[in-house]
Amino acid sequence: MHQAALLRQALKDSHKYGWQIEDNVQHNWEIMRKSIQDYIGSLNWNYRVSLMENDVEYENGFGEFVEAHKIKSTNPRGRVKYFTAETFLIATGERPRYPGIPGDKEYCITSDDLFSLPYCPGKTLVVGASYVALECAGFLAGLGLDVSVMVRSILLRGFDQEIADKIGEHMEDHGVNFIKNCVPTKIEQIEAGEPGRLKVTSQATDGSETVEEYNTVLLAIGRDACTRKIGLDIPGVKINEKTGKIPVNDKEQTNVPYIYGIGDVLEDKLELTPVAIQAGCLLARRLYGGSNVKCDYVNVPTTVFTPLEYGSCGLSEEKAIAKYGAENVEVYHSYFWPLEWTVPARDNNKCYAKVICHIKDNERVVGFHVLSPNAGEITQGFAVAMKCGLSKEQLDSTIGIHPVCAEIFTTLTVTKRSGGNVLQGGC
């Protein structure tokens, strides 16, 4: 869906490159949805085949502990099976959270629903400020829909806040309406349909109340760990009572030695699929392959697929300062203008690069951040360098590839401390 939105922007840009495309090009939601669902279906099938080829028994059922070393599995038809094991792995993930207001479950959708939604959502209110909220709002707006985002406090909590603010500004510049310091209090249906019409009552932090109509309300206020109904109290696994998350040690081991946890259910760990995959592979090797390699939860590359993509690895500026002290942190930064954006003459000084260095450790790069097209492709390579102990000197001594976005990281000279100008006049 993000790619679908990028293609609309590419159609606009194409005029300046000589392509004569009619301005009234229309988007067909159903074709996009079917293509996406067909692809997801093929992935699911391939995973099941892979399990069989590797002699893994797949049991489609709801699992819950009934004894210390025994679980019950109930399949969709109600058939019950029991399994015993020496070792257990909890990897149940999370499900979208609802705010607990009138009309939320009756009339709202979540990101889980959006990707299979059988109709175009129309005028949409996205509630939340997480990467899920901003990604969904971004591609819906990119498809040409009227989109508002209702934010209770800050954007992208846990990410670098300077970057988060720049993402919000870019989205506003491209038509997304932000309703800040506000929460919904009631959702009412005015008219059923696909989409229908909903009346949303919301309240600002100053106590004022507003009412607005939308076709669709998408809730993206976070996700809850699926740990409360699987009988973890029977073997005695401790969970955070507030969040449902499971505390583990650096080997992903719970307080019950033979029970481990992986992925989004873990407390204070990144909620990213590749992190869960890596941690799971390393755990299997430690348990059964003689390895002692643990998962690195710090130098994790990730990308937020907002209209202007945000790639990051390592520490945010806030966390670096908290860890090392402001006097021991040097931040090199610059704006830049992708060559492909210069011909259509759009979005100059919106892309941004920042590396955060630990001065006392030979200016080792401890944080990498980029706002750019293809930010994920850029970040993946630099993440490898960071795993190898990348320093600012090594960045400076690397020859850049001209004219690509990643080149900017080989020419960063201005520090935040200096207050020097970082605006760019050309590519």
Per DSSP, the three-state class of 389 is coil
**Buried-state track 17-33, b at ≥16 Cβ within 10 A, e below 16:** eeeeeeeeeeeebeeeb
Rg of the chain in Å (alpha carbons)? 24
CB 367 within 8 A of CB 162: no
Residue with tokens 């970082």: 422
- Return the closest-CA partner of residue 350 out of 180, 176, 173: 173
- Return the closest-CA partner of residue 149 out of 173, 180, 107: 180
Catalytic site residue from 15, 69, 369, 402: 402
356 CB contacts (<8 Å, ≥6 apart)?
314, 315, 316, 317, 320, 329, 330, 331, 365, 366, 367, 368, 369
- Tell me the β-bridge partners of 166: none
CA 93 to chain centre: 15
Sign (positive or negative) of CA dihedral 295, 298, 299, 305:
positive
Largest CA distance in the chain: 69
Q: Please give the torsion angle defined by the CA atoms of residues 230, 236, 242 and 248, in that order, rounded to the nearest 10 degrees.
A: -100
Q: What type of residue is 189?
A: Q
- Tell me the β-bridge partners of 89: 260
- Return the closest-CA partner of residue 237 out of 61, 97, 82, 69: 69
Parallel, antiparallel or unpaired: strands 259-261 and 88-90: parallel
Q: What's the CA gap between 156 and 237, in Å, rounded? A: 31
CB 99 within 8 A of CB 184: yes
Q: What's the CA gap between 274 and 169, in Å, rounded? A: 29
Residue with tokens 């799971």: 280
Q: What's the CA gap between 117 and 363, in Å, rounded? A: 48
2 is catalytic: no
Q: What's the CA gap between 243 and 73, in Å, rounded? A: 25
- Tell me the β-bridge partners of 259: 88
Give the residue numbers annotated as catalytic, written as ranges: 402
